A = this chain, B = another copy of it.
Amino acid sequence: MDQYVVIVAGGSGKRMGSAIPKQFMELGGQPLLMHTIGAFYRFNPAMQIIVVLPKEQMYTWNSLVEKNAFYIPHQVAHGGETRFHSVKNGLQLIQGDGVVGIHDGVRPFVSLETLQRCYDTAAREGSAIPVILPVDSLRLLQENGHVMLARDKVRLVQTPQVFLSKLLKGAYEQAFTPDFTDDATVMEKMGHELQLVEGNRENIKITDPVDWRIAQFILEKGL
C-alpha cells in the first residue's frame, strides 16, 4: 500500500527565544526539519513526503535546501490559519489511495520501529496513534481544586498519527471547529475508532530550549 506523510512545520520560534523558526534551527549541522524528513525517508525512500510551511517561510526553506544540498525528494504545501487548515492543504497533494501519517516537524527522533508499528497498524485497522505511558503522577484540574488522575489510565500522544488516506481525507472535509486539537480528534468526530500503538520515549516534541539541548544530546550520542 502506498505510504505518505504530511509534516507540519508551522512554528515561529517564539518559545525557543529565537528569531529563526525552530524547524529551521541547526541541529548537528542541519536544520531540524531536515532531520525529521530524513526519519521518514530512511523508513521508506519511496514514501511521498509533503512538508507544510507558512507561506512566508518558503523562501528561507528553499535557500536552506540549496545551501545544505538537501537531496530528499519532498513537496511543499502552504500552511493555513490553524493546524487543521495546514493539514488539509497538505492532504490535497495526495492523489492515490494508501496510508498517510501526519507528523510534527519538530519531532525528529521518531524511531523506525514506531514508524513500522504506525504504518502497519493503520494499513490493517484504519488508524494508529503512537502513545507512551507517563512517568510522573498526574493531577486533573477541576473547577474547585484538583484530583489525582491514575497514571496507568493516561497516555501521552506522539506523532505520526497514521490513517488510511481515504478516511482521513474524508474527515478533513468536515467544517473546522476549535476542538480539533489533533488528527485523532478530527477522525473521532467522524465516528472512527482509533488504534493506539506504542511510540518511543525519545520521540519528543522540541518546544523549548531544554528540549533543544536534549535533542543535541540525542543526536550526538544516540539514546
Contacts and interface: CB of A to CB of B under 8 A. Distances in A.
Interface size class of A (residues with CB under 8 A): 35 or more
Interface of A: 129, 131, 134-141, 145-146, 148-149, 151, 153-158, 181-182, 184-185, 188, 193-194, 196, 201-202, 204-205, 207-211, 213-214, 217-218, 221, 223
A154 B135 contact: no
Of listed A140, A151, A158, A193, residue having the most chain B CB within 10 A: A140
15 contacts: A135-B204, A135-B207, A136-B156, A138-B155, A139-B154, A139-B157, A140-B153, A141-B154, A145-B193, A201-B208, A202-B210, A209-B223, A210-B223, A213-B218, A213-B221
Contacts of A131: 139
Of listed A153, A158, A221, residue having the most chain B CB within 10 A: A153
A158 B134 CA distance: 12
